[in-house]
Amino acid sequence: MAQSLRFTVKKRAPEFVIPSKPTPHEIKLLSDIDDQDGLRFQIPVIQFYKYDPNMAGKDPVDVIRKALAKTLVFYYPFAGRLREGPGRKLMVDCNEEGVLFIEADADVSLKDFGEAIHPPFPCLDELLFDVPGSSDVINTPLLLIQVTRLKCGGFIFALRLNHTMSDASGLVQFMNALGEISRGMSKPSISPVWCRELLNARDPPRVTCTHHEYEKSPDNKGTIFPLHNIVHHTLFFGPTEVAAIRTLLPSHQRQQHSNFEIISAYLWRYRTIALQLPTNQEVRIICVVNARSKSVNLPLPKGYYGNTLAKPAAVTTAGKLIENPLVYALSLVKKAKASVTQEYMHSVADLMVIKSRPHFTIVGSYLVTDVTRAGFREVDFGWGNAVYGGPARAGEGGIPGLASFHLPFKNAKGEEGLVIPFFLPSLVMERFIKEVDSVLKRNINQCIKGDSKSSIIISSM
C-alpha cells in the first residue's frame, strides 16, 4: 500500500437521498442483540473499483445515487433515525429523512494506491468525509455514503454504518441489493426482513450461560496500554505462513483447527508477549461469532439484516498464556467459539435487559473478527468485483489496538491469503513484529527447504 501517497479530493456539498417512492412512517424496535452498548458506534467500509470499458460513458456517482433511492424503498429503515426510549431501548423512527450522500473527485488513479491495496488507507478522512454533526449514534443519519471518481475512470465507494442497525453480513446484503439495482434489477434478489423481535429478551429474562465478555473490570473503559504514539501495521498470512504456524502444534493436531483459530491464538499469544504485562494480568480474547453459521443455526428468516453477533471470551493470565505452548491458547479459542449456541444468543439478549445493556469488557481484551467470507469484494455496482472491499480501518468503536480483522487478500505473487491490520503503541509494535517475524521465518525454514523469506507485509501509517 502506497502510504506516502498524497492527493486532493474535491467534494460537493453533502445531500440527503430519500426513498424514490413513499415508504411506511412507523417506529421499529431494534433487537436486544442490536441494542447493546458495544455496538453503539459507526463502521467505516471502503471499496476500490477499476475502470471497466464496458461501462464507458456511465458515471458511478449518478448510477449509485439513483440506485440508492430505489434500494431505500426496500430498506426504508436506513432512511430513518435512531431514537432512545425507556431503559435505553433503541428504535428506528422510519421518517424518510434520508441517507447522507457525497459526490467527490480525486486527482489520483487506482494504480497510484499500489498493487497491495489494504488498510491503512491514505487520506481516509477525505474518502469518507465525516460530515459535521452526523456521527452521533442517536438522531443522525444511519448511513453515510461517499462515491469518489478517480482519474483512471475507476472509483472508490466508501460507507459508514451505524453498527446497531446491522453486522457485516447484514451490511453486505444491503450493499448487494444496491449493486443489483445499480445493474438494472427492479428489486433485490433477497428481500430484506426486519423481524428483530426474534432476538429480543425472553419474558422473564434469564441469563443461562457464562458470559466472560461482559464481566466488569475496575476500569471497563480503559486499556492496558497508553493510546498515544499509536502506529498501524498490516500482516499478510498466506499458505506458507499458516503452514509454519501449524508446525508449532503437536503433529496429531495440525489439521484439526481452522486457519482463523490458529492465527488468532498465535497473534494473541505474541501480542501479549509484546505488551510485557505483569504475569498476573488478566487477558482475554474475544472471538466474534456469526450466529447465522451452521454450527449455531439460529432460526432466522432469509433476508434478516440485523446483528447476529456473539462475542464469547476466553480468559487467562498473561503469565499462563506466555509460559504455555501455542496449543494452550488454541484450546481457549476453540472452547470460546464452541460455547455459542441458540441458548447462548438468547442468554445474551436477556443479559442486555437485566444488566442495562453493558459494554463488553475492554481492559485486557483482544477482539478478533473474521470477515473473509462476508462478501465485501463481491459487491458489484456494474464495474465488477472490488479490488479491495471491507473495513476501512482496524479498531472497535474507535478504540485503537482493541480489535483486528481477518480480511481476504491476494498478494503481489497471486497468493490468496488474508491481511490483519493492527494498532499498537510504536515500541510494542516493534517487539510484536520482531517476535512474529522471527518465529515465522524459523518455522518456514523447517517446512520449506531453501525458502527462508516470510511473506509478512508490514505497512505503517
**Inter-residue contact 391 to 398 (CB < 8 Å):** no
Residue with cell 493436531: 253
How far apart are the C-alpha atoms of 282 and 147, rounded to whole Å? Answer: 44
**Catalytic residue ranges:** 163, 380
Residues ≥6 apart with Cβ < 8 Å to 229: 425, 426, 427
Upper half-sphere CA count for residue 195 (Cβ side, 13 Å): 12
Count CB-CB contacts under 10 A for residue 87.
Answer: 10
How far apart are the C-alpha atoms of 167 and 150, rounded to whole Å? Answer: 29
Residue with cell 503452514: 243
**Inter-residue contact 347 to 207 (CB < 8 Å):** yes
How far apart are the C-alpha atoms of 311 and 254, rounded to whole Å? Answer: 26
Q: Using N-to-C axis directions, what is the helix angle for 259-275 and 239-246, rounded to 10°? A: 70
Q: Look up residue 386 and give its three cell numbers.
A: 472490488
How far apart are the C-alpha atoms of 349 and 1, rounded to whole Å? Answer: 41
Residues ≥6 apart with Cβ < 8 Å to 425: 225, 226, 228, 229, 230, 231, 401
How far apart are the C-alpha atoms of 418 and 242, rounded to whole Å? Answer: 10
How far apart are the C-alpha atoms of 415 and 428, rounded to whole Å? Answer: 29
How far apart are the C-alpha atoms of 374 and 382, rounded to whole Å? Answer: 19
Query: CA gyration radius for the chain?
Result: 22
